[in-house]
Amino acid sequence: MLEPNKDIIIIPDVHGRTFWKEATARFPEGEFVFLGDYLDPYYIDEILNHITSESALNNFREILAFAKDNPGRVTLLLGNHDCEYLYGRNVCDCRCDDARYDIIRRLFRDNKDLFEMAAEARLGKKHFVFVHAGISIEWMDRHVEGWTPDNLVGRLNTLNREALSSERPEDSPFASALSERDRERSGDLDYASPIWIDAETLNRGYQLCDIYQVVGHSAIRYMEPVITSRVFYTDCMKALRLDEDGVLRNLDGKRCVNRDKNPFAPMANGYDCHLFGDDAFSRPYCRTCGSHNIYVRGGVMADHWYCRDCGKDEVI
């Protein structure tokens, strides 16, 4: 259980990016919850922000060192990309660092005790559960016997720990449970595991009453998190702060907006991604004229970007 009297800083999917460092510098006494997916940069970040698989690995080593230097104050959760190394490719077959696969797997397994599947905090009267993608009731019913809202975090972490201590974690029942995915993520189920469930699926009805979930995994295309009545979708490439009353804020203290109505609607301008707009740590520029005034279409899966100053228009 995270301590309720400290700022909880949420670090959504890193994927090689360094925005987490601004948060650790600004909140030296904070508690940090990394929501997982540390490696495997997006193609768009490689092109626009020069994040390479190698720089992502070095960044991950820095995160591990930060966690070790601050015991009890840093929670590292596991995402699907992390489980691809830790549990194997049956669990996740996303883009992955083939060249360094064995090195990264060893790094994860040598540090397996640093990682959890979920974490929780009670803030005000609210019970928060932090997990990479989200908790679906159906998945829990199938794989976690006797779970309740009060024991689910402990149960998930125990199952993870037991599976990782086995001779071959990749062959454990927990690994195959983790591999279950919904149709939005090229699976064939209505639900998915806590490292896979897509925001759209979770938002359709797998929310847990009385629990507020804080999740990453599904890239949010507004530069701001999407808050609904029970789920905070935070994968917007920046750190966020959950205050002692359970209010989600950006690092400057500005309250995040509730988008309960039609939470995943595209932006009015048709370009549904302002992901790279003003992030000081990953601010892209036009490679033709140097302007930062660029738009990217297609979110982090961007397939097209253009520069509003010089008109450079490029299909990636």
Binding site for Zn ion (CB under 5 A): 37, 79-80, 217
| Nearest CA-CA partner of 117 in 158, 165, 57, 157 | 157
How many CB atoms lie under 10 A from the CB of residue 204? Answer: 14
Which residue number, 30 or 216, has a Cβ lying nearer to Zn ion? 216
Which residue number, 91 or 153, has a Cβ lying nearer to Zn ion? 91
Distances (CA, A) of 107 to 29, 86, 104, 178, 182: 27, 9, 5, 20, 29
| Nearest CA-CA partner of 197 in 176, 214, 213, 183 | 183
Tell the smallest beta-carbon distance from residue 24 to Zn ion (Å): 22
Q: Which long-range contacts (CB under 8 A, 24 or more apart) does 228-231 make?
A: 228/203, 228/258, 228/259, 228/260, 228/263, 229/258, 229/260, 231/134, 231/199, 231/202, 231/203, 231/207
| Residues 222, 274 contacting (CB under 8 angstroms) | yes
Residue number of the CB atom closest to Zn ion: 217
Which residue number, 80 or 282, has a Cβ lying nearer to Zn ion? 80
Which residue number, 81 or 241, has a Cβ lying nearer to Zn ion? 81
Helices (H), 150-278: 152-165, 173-178, 199-203
Tell the smallest beta-carbon distance from residue 184 to Zn ion (Å): 12
| Residues 192, 180 contacting (CB under 8 angstroms) | yes
Which residue number, 294 or 302, has a Cβ lying nearer to Zn ion? 302
Tell the smallest beta-carbon distance from residue 122 to Zn ion (Å): 26
User: What is the distance between the alpha carbons of residues 271 and 170, in angstroms, rounded to a whole number?
Assistant: 40
Tell the smallest beta-carbon distance from residue 36 to Zn ion (Å): 7
Which residue number, 155 or 217, has a Cβ lying nearer to Zn ion? 217
What DSSP letter does each residue of 51-66 carry, written as one string? --HHHHHHHHHHHHHH
| Nearest CA-CA partner of 177 in 85, 91, 78, 83 | 91
Tell the smallest beta-carbon distance from residue 254 to Zn ion (Å): 26
Which residue number, 49 or 80, has a Cβ lying nearer to Zn ion? 80
Q: What is the CA radius of gyration of the chain?
A: 19
Tell the smallest beta-carbon distance from residue 264 to Zn ion (Å): 16
Which residue number, 80 or 172, has a Cβ lying nearer to Zn ion? 80
Tell the smallest beta-carbon distance from residue 181 to Zn ion (Å): 11
Tell the smallest beta-carbon distance from residue 202 to Zn ion (Å): 13
